[in-house]
């Protein structure tokens, strides 16, 4: 609204067009145009006139001089639009913001019927029902890629990120298995949930949402491991399981070889999986000699004062780390006592002593591991 509560010209034009299209009063239409929930939360306010034009001009769902091809129940639906004159435009505006969550794709892979349910769950309780037809209508008005998969039914495919949609569906859907990590979370996910809650109380969001700049964080080990998918050996099997876990948001991305060990300890696995992890890390380190060696997780430590042995007081330090296989420990010790200074780091696990060694040329506080299999040709 402009100063003195006078609606701006765009809102007036949209209200007149919506009033005529839906057969409702102009004042009722204008109230919808002016609703905080219809202000555009992840982008510009959706245009009622653009929505109306979509039903006549769109290449797939537009009338284009013939009979209507899009109805409340979807494509080729003969069910007429059910306009209540109170919330129709607001619902379409919220559906549009929901669709703006997702990265658009050139190919349409996500079914409109699946999206409609995800929209209902995400927008509830502010909009507890989304029809298949309105989901398609909003997607068409946004210019998203839309295809007819079978040429028969009411459902169409929409061009949004399948991985992002799967993440959102699992986060908001009843009975869904929740993602364990957020690498497929749409960047506007938390913002939109908060903005809808505020707008539902009548609050106008004063600042526009600014999408964060994508951060191209390097993941050399991940990239290498993904390329091993399809190999007919244990490394290929591990790569396939790892790739599936990333796809299903079951675990984090292993940007380094050390991250793979962390993932290994965070997810359920077979006894044979650990051997495949060690083999994969060894092969990676042979292929990338500058690869970062392994540091395991710190699980305990202490630093104590010591009265010394006659040459003055000092301290003793002991730090306990998980060994690579997780069955034992790595102990790092420092005696900082005048006349008796000493430091050492040892692996207390028979299996890991055979499979891992400390990288040469590093101090005790800077210790790191590499597989002994690195010296064995692949």
- Tens digit of pLDDT for each residue in 227-256? 999 999 999 999 999 999 999 999 999 999
- Tens digit of pLDDT for each residue in 267-313? 877 778 899 999 999 999 999 888 889 999 999 988 877 666 656 77
Query: Does position 368 have pLDDT exceeding 90, yes or no?
Result: yes
Predicted local distance difference test score (pLDDT) of residue 339: 64
Quick check: 327 and 321 in contact, CB under 8 A?
no
Question: Longest C-alpha distance within the chain, in Å?
Answer: 101
- Is residue 228 domain-resident? yes
Shared-domain flag, residues 102 and 72: yes
Query: Does position 377 have pLDDT exceeding 70, yes or no?
Result: no
Q: Of 299, 183, 280, 175, which Cα lies nearest the Cα of 236? A: 280
Please say which residue of 135, 170, 200 terminates a domain.
200
Q: Of 365, 290, 303, 360, which Cα lies nearest the Cα of 330? A: 365
Q: Domain tally for the chain?
A: 3
Shared-domain flag, residues 266 and 182: no
How far is 319 from 45, CA to CA, in rounded Å? 57
Query: Does position 1 have pLDDT exceeding 50, yes or no?
Result: no
Strand ordering across the sheet containing 157-158: 110-111, 157-158, 146-147
Shared-domain flag, residues 66 and 149: yes
**In sequence order, which residues have a C-beta less than 8 Å from that of residue 317 and are 6 or more positions away?**
301, 302, 303, 304, 332, 333, 334, 336
How far is 89 from 80, CA to CA, in rounded Å? 16
Give the domain range for residue 255: 220-287
- Is residue 348 domain-resident? yes
- Tens digit of pLDDT for each residue in 89-118? 999 999 999 999 999 999 999 999 999 999
- Is residue 209 domain-resident? no
Our measurement of the distance from residue 266's CA atom to the centroid of its chain's CA atoms, rounded to an integer in Å, reads 19
Kindly provide the b/e burial profile for residues 164-203, where b requires at least 16 CB atoms within 10 angstroms of the residue's own CB: bbbbbbbbbbeeeeebebeebbbbbbebbeebbeebeeee
How far is 136 from 131, CA to CA, in rounded Å? 9
Of 146-150, 155-159, 209-213, 244-248, the range with the lowest mean pLDDT is 209-213
Query: Does position 68 have pLDDT exceeding 90, yes or no?
Result: no
Shared-domain flag, residues 118 and 257: no
pLDDT band at 3 (very low <50, low <70, confident <90, very high): very low
42: its two tokens: 């992840």
pLDDT band at 5 (very low <50, low <70, confident <90, very high): low
Backbone angles phi, psi at 75, to 5 degrees: -75, 140
Per-chain mean pLDDT for the chain? 90
Instruction: Say which residue, 206 or 321, is predicted with more confidence.
Output: 321
- Is residue 208 domain-resident? no
**C-alpha dist (Å) from residue 78 to 69, 71, 74, 137, 151:** 8, 6, 9, 15, 16
- Is residue 334 domain-resident? yes
Average pLDDT of the residues in 328-346: 84
- Tens digit of pLDDT for each residue in 17-67? 999 999 999 999 999 999 999 999 999 999 999 999 999 999 999 987 777
């Amino acid at each position: 609204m402009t100063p003195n509560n006078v609606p701006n010209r765009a809102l007036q034009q949209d209200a007149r067009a919506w009033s005529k299209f839906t057969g409702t009063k102009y004042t009722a239409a204008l109230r919808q145009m002016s609703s905080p929930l219809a202000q555009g939360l992840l982008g510009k306010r959706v245009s009622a006139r653009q929505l109306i034009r979509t039903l006549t001009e769109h290449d797939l769902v537009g009338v284009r001089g013939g009979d209507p091809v899009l109805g409340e129940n979807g494509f080729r639906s003969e069910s007429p639009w059910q306009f209540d004159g109170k919330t129709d435009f607001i619902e379409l505006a919220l559906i549009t913001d929901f669709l703006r969550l997702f990265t658009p794709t050139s190919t349409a892979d996500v079914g409109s019927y699946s999206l409609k349910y995800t929209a209902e769950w995400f927008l509830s309780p502010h909009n507890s029902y989304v029809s298949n037809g309105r989901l398609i209508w909003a997607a068409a008005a946004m210019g998203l890629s839309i295809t007819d998969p079978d040429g028969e039914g009411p459902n169409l495919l929409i061009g949004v990120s399948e991985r992002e949609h799967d993440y959102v569906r699992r986060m908001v859907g009843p009975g869904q298995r929740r993602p364990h990590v957020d690498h497929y979370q749409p960047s506007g996910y938390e913002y939109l949930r908060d903005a809808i809650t505020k707008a539902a109380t009548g609050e106008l969001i004063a600042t526009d949402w600014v999408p964060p700049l994508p951060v191209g964080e390097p993941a050399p080990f991940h990239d290498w491991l993904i390329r091993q998918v399809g190999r007919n050996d244990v490394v290929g099997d591990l790569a396939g399981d790892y790739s599936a876990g990333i796809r299903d948001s079951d675990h984090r991305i292993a940007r380094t070889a050390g991250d793979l060990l962390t993932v290994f300890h965070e997810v359920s696995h077979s006894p044979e999986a650990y051997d495949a992890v060690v083999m994969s890390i060894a092969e990676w380190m042979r292929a990338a000699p500058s690869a970062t060696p392994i540091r395991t997780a710190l699980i305990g430590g202490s630093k104590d004062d010591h009265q010394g042995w006659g040459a003055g007081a000092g301290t003793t330090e002991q730090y306990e780390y998980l060994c690579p296989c997780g069955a034992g420990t790595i102990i790092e010790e420092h005696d900082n006592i005048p006349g008796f200074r000493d430091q050492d780091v040892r692996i207390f696990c028979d299996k890991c002593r055979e499979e891992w060694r400390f990288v040469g040329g590093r101090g005790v506080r800077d210790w790191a591991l590499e597989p002994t299999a690195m010296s064995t040709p692949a």
